[in-house]
Amino acid sequence: MNLKDKTAMITGAASGIGREIARAFYKAGAKVCIADISWEAARTTAQEIGEEGGDALAVAMDVSDEQGVETGVQKVIASFGRVDVLVSNAGIQHIAPVVDLSFANWRRLIAIHLDGAFLTTRACLRHMQAAGRGGSILYMGSVHSKQASPLKAPYVAAKHGLLGLCKVVAIEGAQFGVRANLICPGFVRTPLVDQQIPEQATRLGITEEEVIKKIMLKDTVDGEFTTTADVADLAVFLASFPSNALTGQSIVVSHGWHMQ
Q: Which of 7, 89, 181, 240 binds ligand NAD (CB under 6 A)?
A: 89
Contact 249, 181 (CB under 8 A): yes
Taking the complex as a whole, the smallest distance from the CB of residue 86 to ligand NAD amounts, in Å, to: 13
Nearer to ligand NAD, 145 or 240 (CB): 145
Active site residue 26: no
Taking the complex as a whole, the smallest distance from the CB of residue 111 to ligand NAD amounts, in Å, to: 8
Query: Pairing state of beta strands 56-60 and 85-88?
Result: unpaired
Mask for 32-71, x = binds ligand NAD (CB under 6 A):
----xxx--x-------------------xxxx-------
- Rounded to whole angstroms, the Cα distance separating 80 from 7 reads 7
Taking the complex as a whole, the smallest distance from the CB of residue 91 to ligand NAD amounts, in Å, to: 2
Q: Which of 123, 188, 235, 236 binds ligand NAD (CB under 6 A)?
A: 188
Which of the following is catalytic: 25, 139, 155, 225? 155
Q: Where are the beta strands (DSSP E) in 31-185?
A: 31-36, 56-60, 85-88, 135-140, 178-185
- Rounded to whole angstroms, the Cα distance separating 109 from 115 reads 9
Residue 208 phi, psi (nearest 5): -65, -40
- Rounded to whole angstroms, the Cα distance separating 169 from 180 reads 6
Tell me which residues touch ligand NAD (CB under 6 A): 11-12, 14-18, 36-38, 41, 61-64, 89-92, 112, 140, 142, 185, 187-188, 190-193
Task: Give catalytic residue positions.
Answer: 155
